[in-house]
Structure 1
């Protein structure tokens, strides 16, 4: 992991990375043979080994980075020019559609007949498309590659960076009339997996499950969440149950338990243990492929594969080593998975369960069987939540207060639901007609959805907009780690370390508050068709806008800014025409275009609502240093203003291209 992180900072070529790794491997081999028979060990073998593994992480990043290969499409096509061309694409993944487009991840095969490779984001207008492509479909499309959209407002989710972490560096917007289908044959393992999922879904349709029931069945058993609507997904998130919809160790562990029971008779035959292990591994990995090979699935299947091998070959296994082996294998084959939220939370949850659950259970266990089962559910949930708590706050800025109730009620029945669901899948595939058995499964899923909806609507127990940064995340994990070590083996020195780090964390909180309270700034946000700006004074924020109450409640710009800047109080006001910040004057010229009666010369002009003005005359009259156009203006006006400012050598800032305008206090 450290080698992968280091590679992001080092501009080493692929060739040089290979040479360094081979030299370190050669050195490691020599030090091994020198040190293996020595009674007194030196540090050189261990040091060389660590350095070689560090270099291996760097090499893995270089090998898997598409931009290191000359036949990547970015070397053949200048994305900034957006030249109209002919592309041959192969669909790799079907994404969740948005309000306007069907969305896919596709690989470019040719550009104007020239062979290339590389992944792009394909957007096909819903208004013009009756096509629903599947994995492995090959299409020909006429259009142009466009740059990915960067975040335009502060503390906004960086979707461009997210896509680049998935080796996607451009996108195409198109319509059905510009697309022709070349082939629909399935030839890759992902295409065959998609075919199996589509067949299962088609077979389930005769059972008349509702849209929400079918969406949850797909997520619960196939790991596909594209069809879950926003409201239902939000219910699962707010109830602290989103992990149920992500196939993880719980799901794979239950499947392994079922398989172990089914293949128990095989152990009695000759070489039965080896045969059983091979069959179980084949089934687990086949299921992982069908379920889409998400980070949590990969982690779980890799980990349980190691456990299966140890179990059937009668070899001891350590859960920490098993986790390390699975992470190492995954990062060798896909180092970018390290930056997946699912990968990080999945491993942290398991580490939390393994490290903290035994300590909690030891303190709470009773002599009775049934209470101990309830206590186990509670302690496992608490341990997993402690493992992911700091990082989930950093990514999602909220905490579900009723997660214990959710897990205690649902987890005991999840194994039954999964087993029942697999049975329903089998019945659907062999053509068993609709019956009471299939209806009951739909009712169970519907009941689960309604339960989580009820939990999610207990808003008093959902703590939202919790500010968090990397400093606080690291501090919280250090506190959890050191107190866990203390309770594993109590000693005075460990207690002192834990308490010292806690005190340092509290000091850091005061410094963190001082840092944000001493930073004042003015922000002109980008908001399509509207104007919005803010003045930050310490931990207080004044927001000026022209939105109605409904649109203001649906807007994420201010909540994102509030959390990212640790704002405590917000005051909303209507847009004014004149502002003063940092000894500088701001003048807003709206659709009325009135500025002739201004008695001062503002350094900054903000154009909003497409004012019909002569910009040359305005520059001559007011002589501003910077002209800002927000998202409420027509693009044709912005284009004309850009050209005028270029000729008049005035700084021009359009929020739709350069992002929000931010002026910090000197």
Structure 2
């Protein structure tokens, strides 16, 4: 086994820890003068350490602190607070301004908006920087907007809305991890000017991808098969139907639909194999690696230079470069070196799911798979092929298993079967897909090749659909917190270390890791034992949840309907987030008590009895009630309006409560109300 340079690993981990610390302590600023003094001290101590046989503890400590500080400062200096030209310093929130935006990236549209990430080049004539989420109401008059277009708009900066119910996906945090802190919400009427900006490399890449998509649309490849081809080769997933995507997710093969480290790794192996004859020439290793790197970046270019593909290509470019240098080092070193460089380029990548899963999968394959493979030595090529795929699948799944449970809350039990069938042919599918796209781009695509390729993708989709029907192998609604993720990785690492070499210290480490995991389970069970009442926000429906430890009872209107909210949002997300094991539903009562408080539910009939003063009144289904008279009669402690009410009614009630100086709570603006 080649030599592992642990120094690179330590430095990469320290930079990551510095980034994490800065992320969770944004108010503390790691001063640049301190970093400058620290850097001078390190350089001085390094010159002294060169004359010594072993580095001193002082030099090592300074180096560790420096790399931690580099990660910390690299994250903080990218925050709007420390960027003098950031638009937030010159433009007020919720105040109309003339903004000049340049489109950086097109996002997947939803039912109401088309969405882009854009940079604010100017605000009210002042040059600025910083990215925003641009949302444009869907309208037939919307012009075609592409990357590098410049829009002059009259709009206000708005905070990206936070989720209205607990444990919902926090889109605002997701955008924050992309460096986006505000949104611009407009219709076509507020676009004052639309022009083409100077082309960037990303813009040229997007134009090439759109051209390839257009040419692919002109072929005879059927709809679902073309959508899969676009996803595999061009990184365009928006045309995949919800049903087809759900089938891939249920079969444990959704990872092949997003161009990532898996695809780039396969393409890296394909290019390396095809160009291997060049290694026999003078300086062939260098020429071979240079061409592999060039072809990898060409692939990234036709996928639109998306961040996920760019990261993966950068990672494998390091592997190709290390091969050219013929350094006696381990692939783990190369992996951590690329990890370190990418975090220095953009520390926000550390918080993105694709980045985390790519590196954990590759790290597990490099570290675990060789040991797994050595336990069986197949004699024949086919045996070696399937044994290699099987061990790679196990290693990769171990690497991403805790993250998959945390982010996706499900485990496909047949993922081994899926990978054994799909992975052997994925290289062939990718190679054929690249060929199909290239020939289609030049309008020289043979019809027989289209039929053959279409049949192959159709067979793949049918197999995925067949696996997805075995839903009893799919474990869903798994609650897996961040603490469990960290404890799980400690278990995986310690068990594998003990497996490789039995020793007292490693045995103790395994026992400690399992003890830590059990401690996390006990702590989470203790913290979830409290009782609370939740008024959820749900359009056109009233939902009140009563949580007691791991049991949840939902009181809702229209219980006579066949619909159950156990598997629908926001109840599904809350059940998973709180690890609910017992669930039930009941009709919503007109009056009930909670913690010595009387709660009156006033529905569309608007009829209410006399109750004690200081009670809580919940308005549902837009009751036609004279609220001022109700307040004078009942003298409630507060008024609550949920998502089942008309917006115009809510606005009128809010004004009435303001005049009466009575607390008013609307779940549509403040989110679900949690009463402890």
In the alignment, structure 1 residue 102 sits paired with structure 2 residue 114 = yes
Residue 474 of structure 2 is matched in structure 1 by 462
Residue 595 of structure 2 is matched in structure 1 by 582
In the alignment, structure 1 residue 634 sits paired with structure 2 residue 646 = yes
The question of whether the paired residues in 2 share the 8 Å contact of 1:224 and 1:292 is answered with no
CA distance in 1, matches of 2:272, 2:467: 35
Three-state SS of the structure 2 residue aligned to 1:549 is coil
Residue 542 of structure 2 is matched in structure 1 by 531
In the alignment, structure 1 residue 347 sits paired with structure 2 residue 359 = yes
In the alignment, structure 1 residue 592 sits paired with structure 2 residue 605 = yes
Three-state SS of the structure 1 residue aligned to 2:374 is helix
Three-state SS of the structure 1 residue aligned to 2:654 is helix
In the alignment, structure 1 residue 545 sits paired with structure 2 residue 560 = no
Given candidates 64, 82, 89, the residue that maps to 1:75 is 89
In the alignment, structure 1 residue 617 sits paired with structure 2 residue 632 = no
Q: Map Cα deviations across residues 185-229 of structure 1 (whole Å, 9 max, x no partner).
A: 561011000011011112212212233222211211122223323
In the alignment, structure 1 residue 2 sits paired with structure 2 residue 20 = no
List aligned pairs for 1:480-519, cutoff 5 A.
480-516=492-528, 518-519=529-530
CA distance in 2, matches of 1:259, 1:511: 50
List aligned pairs for 1:91-490, cutoff 5 A.
91-179=103-191, 182-184=194-196, 187-264=199-276, 266-267=278-279, 270-294=282-306, 296-490=308-502
CA distance in 2, matches of 1:440, 1:223: 22
Give the 3 Å change call, closer, same or farther, for CA 410–432 of structure 1 in structure 2. Answer: same
Given candidates 663, 666, 671, the residue that maps to 1:651 is 663
The question of whether the paired residues in 2 share the 8 Å contact of 1:17 and 1:62 is answered with no
The alpha carbon displacement at 1:327 in A equals 0.8
Q: TM-score, normalised by structure 1?
A: 0.94
The question of whether the paired residues in 1 share the 8 Å contact of 2:373 and 2:391 is answered with yes
The alpha carbon displacement at 1:566 in A equals 1.3
CA distance in 2, matches of 1:365, 1:560: 46
Give the 3 Å change call, closer, same or farther, for CA 88–24 of structure 1 in structure 2. Answer: same
The question of whether the paired residues in 2 share the 8 Å contact of 1:638 and 1:654 is answered with yes
Q: TM-score, normalised by structure 2?
A: 0.92
Residue 569 of structure 1 is matched in structure 2 by 582
Q: Give the total of aligned pairs.
A: 659
The question of whether the paired residues in 1 share the 8 Å contact of 2:26 and 2:76 is answered with no
Give the unaligned 5+ runs of structure 1: none
Three-state SS of the structure 2 residue aligned to 1:146 is strand
CA distance in 1, matches of 2:396, 2:599: 51
Three-state SS of the structure 2 residue aligned to 1:363 is coil
The question of whether the paired residues in 2 share the 8 Å contact of 1:394 and 1:470 is answered with yes
Three-state SS of the structure 2 residue aligned to 1:217 is helix
The question of whether the paired residues in 2 share the 8 Å contact of 1:524 and 1:661 is answered with yes
The question of whether the paired residues in 2 share the 8 Å contact of 1:186 and 1:192 is answered with no
Q: Map Cα deviations across residues 214-261 of structure 1 (whole Å, 9 max, x no partner).
A: 221121112222332322222222211122122233322332333334
Per mean C-alpha deviation after superposition, the further-off stretch among 334-343 and 435-444 is: 435-444
In the alignment, structure 1 residue 58 sits paired with structure 2 residue 58 = no
Give the 3 Å change call, closer, same or farther, for CA 524–125 of structure 1 in structure 2. Answer: same
List aligned pairs for 1:8-19, cutoff 5 A.
8-11=23-26, 17-19=31-33
CA distance in 1, matches of 2:72, 2:218: 51
Per mean C-alpha deviation after superposition, the further-off stretch among 419-428 and 172-181 is: 172-181
In the alignment, structure 1 residue 22 sits paired with structure 2 residue 69 = no
CA distance in 1, matches of 2:216, 2:480: 43
Given candidates 43, 60, 63, the residue that maps to 1:49 is 63
The alpha carbon displacement at 1:311 in A equals 1.6
The question of whether the paired residues in 1 share the 8 Å contact of 2:208 and 2:304 is answered with no
CA distance in 1, matches of 2:519, 2:91: 52
Give the 3 Å change call, closer, same or farther, for CA 109–508 of structure 1 in structure 2. Answer: closer
CA distance in 1, matches of 2:168, 2:492: 29
Give the 3 Å change call, closer, same or farther, for CA 181–402 of structure 1 in structure 2. Answer: farther
The alpha carbon displacement at 1:321 in A equals 0.9
The alpha carbon displacement at 1:293 in A equals 4.3
CA distance in 1, matches of 2:443, 2:304: 25
CA distance in 1, matches of 2:378, 2:295: 38
Give the 3 Å change call, closer, same or farther, for CA 508–259 of structure 1 in structure 2. Answer: closer
Q: Map Cα deviations across residues 278-324 of structure 1 (whole Å, 9 max, x no partner).
A: 33322222322432445543443223212212222322331211111
The alpha carbon displacement at 1:123 in A equals 2.0
Backbone CA RMSD of aligned residues: 2.3
Give the 3 Å change call, closer, same or farther, for CA 12–519 of structure 1 in structure 2. Answer: closer
Q: Map Cα deviations across residues 399-420 of structure 1 (whole Å, 9 max, x no partner).
A: 1111001100010011111111
The question of whether the paired residues in 1 share the 8 Å contact of 2:103 and 2:147 is answered with yes
Given candidates 45, 50, 53, the residue that maps to 1:31 is 45
Q: Map Cα deviations across residues 613-659 of structure 1 (whole Å, 9 max, x no partner).
A: 22222222222212111111222222222222223232211111111
CA distance in 1, matches of 2:307, 2:572: 29
Q: Map Cα deviations across residues 362-404 of structure 1 (whole Å, 9 max, x no partner).
A: 3344444433322222221111111111121111111111100
CA distance in 2, matches of 1:136, 1:507: 52
Give the 3 Å change call, closer, same or farther, for CA 13–360 of structure 1 in structure 2. Answer: closer
Give the 3 Å change call, closer, same or farther, for CA 406–170 of structure 1 in structure 2. Answer: same
CA distance in 2, matches of 1:104, 1:442: 32
CA distance in 1, matches of 2:522, 2:96: 55
CA distance in 2, matches of 1:223, 1:27: 47
Give the unaligned 5+ runs of structure 2: 1-15
Per mean C-alpha deviation after superposition, the further-off stretch among 123-132 and 149-158 is: 123-132
CA distance in 1, matches of 2:446, 2:614: 73
Residue 558 of structure 1 is matched in structure 2 by 571
The alpha carbon displacement at 1:262 in A equals 4.3
The alpha carbon displacement at 1:444 in A equals 1.5
Three-state SS of the structure 2 residue aligned to 1:601 is coil
The question of whether the paired residues in 1 share the 8 Å contact of 2:536 and 2:642 is answered with yes
The alpha carbon displacement at 1:271 in A equals 4.4
The question of whether the paired residues in 2 share the 8 Å contact of 1:128 and 1:176 is answered with no
